[in-house]
A and B are shown apart, each in its own frame.
Chain A
Amino acid sequence: MSNDNQIKDLEAVTDDERRVAEMLGSLKRVEAPSDFDVRVRARIAQGRPASSNGKWLPQWARYAVPLALAIAVGGYFAIDRYSRTADSKPAEIVRNETVQTASPPVTAANTAAQPVADNNAANPVIAANRETASAPKPAVPRPNSDTDTSGGGSFVEAVRPGKRLLPKGIDPNAPQPGRPRDFDADAKIPVAEVLTVIGVKANFKGSNWTVESVVDHSAAGDAGIKPGDVIETINDQKLSEKTAFNGKFIGRSIRVMRGGKPVLIDLVKK
């Protein structure tokens, strides 16, 4: 701790370092408070110093926190593993169902593809692959390499029904909800509206609807309905003044009397 020794060391350093060292050496020194010794003795009298590690935690928490963390991590992995196992079971069922439903057409197609597969029997690798692929599902077709232009990839992997990947909580075997009823399922559409929609302006005279005019390029106009036609039926349903059609109306045919002769007009474009 000699100043001479320090000065000798400083001779080996740069001027900048020397000035920094001198500046630090010139700082005022602080001293311990007057009751320092008393406080040291008091602390010694209290006993051994507690370990500073984890001082900010209560005693019970020093053990409880790591234990809780370990349980949480372990529990997470256990639940995750269990859920993966549970999810894989319905996926297996789906795969089997898929195979069974795919079997009939496959069998038929396989007959045509068989010669191609037989040509590969001499190759042990292809033969082994074919056996591996077809062992649990014997009726898997092989594509005709001459006509198949779908590109590369493993045939075995391509035709094998894969495991369906579904989000957690989605059960593929859950009953499907029924389709919602159409809002207009019970609606009644008056014949006047139907005629307007297909482009016919008609009046009910006597006991029939008589065409007054037809809108150009409408369904009726394109089908050939003409003014003066007397409409007898629409979709084979006889018309009265208050005839109404249930639900969705899809115009298929109209029968009219034209010049005293019945004419059947097809509304569906061909």
Chain B
Amino acid sequence: MAHGNIVSTDAEEKDSTVPEEKSSDHQLIEATKNGDEDAFAEIVARYRNPLTNYLFRFLNDYEEAVDLAQETFVRVYFAIDRYHTQYAFSTYVYRIATNLAISELRRRKRRRLMSLTGLFQADEDSEVEYQLADKAALQDTQIVDNERDRTIARAIAALPEKYRVPIILRDIEGKSYDEVAEIMGLGLGTTKSRISRGRGLLREKLEHYF
């Protein structure tokens, strides 16, 4: 595969491992397309923790992060026939998760607006959703065990979406600039600029920790 050729360059150690992983992902995807449920379970096992952590940092809400991570895999499963192996699977799956997280944030804003105006009565489904919304502090206290981490988490969650996504992908998930640019569908220069700007904003918010 093309990926194998790219890896053969000895520029960085990373290049020798990632394509192998990608290739493995693709094999698992092909197996899933052929009805191998264990292959899909392996994909889930491989990405569940990174995705959950990514979505948790994005939404600052553990329950919602887990829910959206599961939703991401459900969408991958039902759209698996449309997946093209020329793209890295990790890019594909992170892009789905990002879109879901952005939609969730917009839904939260809408709910907050509705709850302020009181225009609509909540039905049974939305009652459940209301309970889930905006209660991040409970999970924070269970998972993040000190005040500093909580403050950082809040600062990340307060960033505008266009800075939050690349910052998390780059500095927390450890993605390369190229991968971040590909996930966001942006140019490399724009991506680097946003990451730099996002770090600057965080630097201002977390000034007393430096």
> With contacts A9-B176, A20-B171, A39-B70 known, what are 5 further pairs, Cβ within 8 A?
A3-B174, A24-B172, A25-B172, A30-B65, A44-B73
Partner-A contacts on B (CB < 8 A): 12-14, 17-18, 41, 44-45, 48-49, 51-53, 56-57, 62, 65-66, 69-71, 73-75, 77-78, 100, 103, 107, 110-111, 114, 120, 123, 125-126, 129, 143-145, 149, 152-153, 156, 167-168, 170-177, 179, 196, 199-200, 202-203, 206, 209-210
Q: Which residues of B contact A52 (CB under 8 A)?
A: 100, 103, 107
| Number of residue pairs A-B, CB distance < 8 angstroms | 127
Residues on A with C-beta less than 8 A from B167 are: 24
Of chain B, the residue at the smallest CB distance from A4 is B13
- Say if the beta carbon of A184 comes within 8 Å of chain B: no
- A30 / chain B contacts, CB cutoff of 8 Å: 52-53, 56, 62, 65, 143
Q: Provide the bound-state CA to CA distance between A154 and B40, in Å.
A: 84
- Which listed residue, A2, A23, A28, A56, touches B126 by the CB 8 Å rule? A56
A2-B53 contact given A17-B199, A40-B73, CB 8 Å threshold: no
Interface residues on A, range: 35 or more
Q: For residue B49, which residues in chain A have a CB less than 8 angstroms away from its CB?
A: 29, 31-32
- Contacting residues of chain A (30-45) with chain B, CB-CB under 8 angstroms: 30-33, 36-37, 39-41, 43-44
Determine if A40 and B126 form an interchain contact, defined as CB atoms under 8 angstroms apart: no
Main secondary structure of the interface of A (DSSP, over half): helix
Residues of the B chain whose Cβ atoms lie less than 8 Å from the Cβ of A135:
none
Q: Mark A50-63, 1 if CB is under 8 A from B, else 0.
A: 00100110100000
Name B's interface SS.
helix
- Report A-chain residues with C-beta under 8 Å of the C-beta of B206: 20, 23
Contact of B210 among A19, A27, A58 (CB under 8 A): A19
**Cα–Cα distance between A2 and B209 once the two chains are bound (Å):** 26
Task: List the B residue with the shortest CB-CB distance to A16.
Answer: B203
Given A24-B152, A28-B145, is A1 in contact with B74 using a C-beta cutoff of 8 Å?
no
Within the complex, what minimum Cβ distance (angstroms) separates A28 from chain B?
6
In the bound complex, what is the Cα–Cα distance between A138 and B144 (angstroms)? 92
Which residues of chain A come closer than 8 Å to B171, judged between CB atoms? 20-21, 24-25
Which residues from B are CB-within-8-Å of A37?
A: 41, 44-45, 48
From A5, A27, A28, A33, give the contact of B14 (CB < 8 A): A5
CB-CB nearest in chain B for A21: B171
Decide if A27 touches B153 in the complex (CB within 8 Å): yes
Q: Does A168 contact B (CB under 8 A)?
A: no
Instruction: Assess whether A205 is interfacial by the CB under 8 Å rule.
Output: no
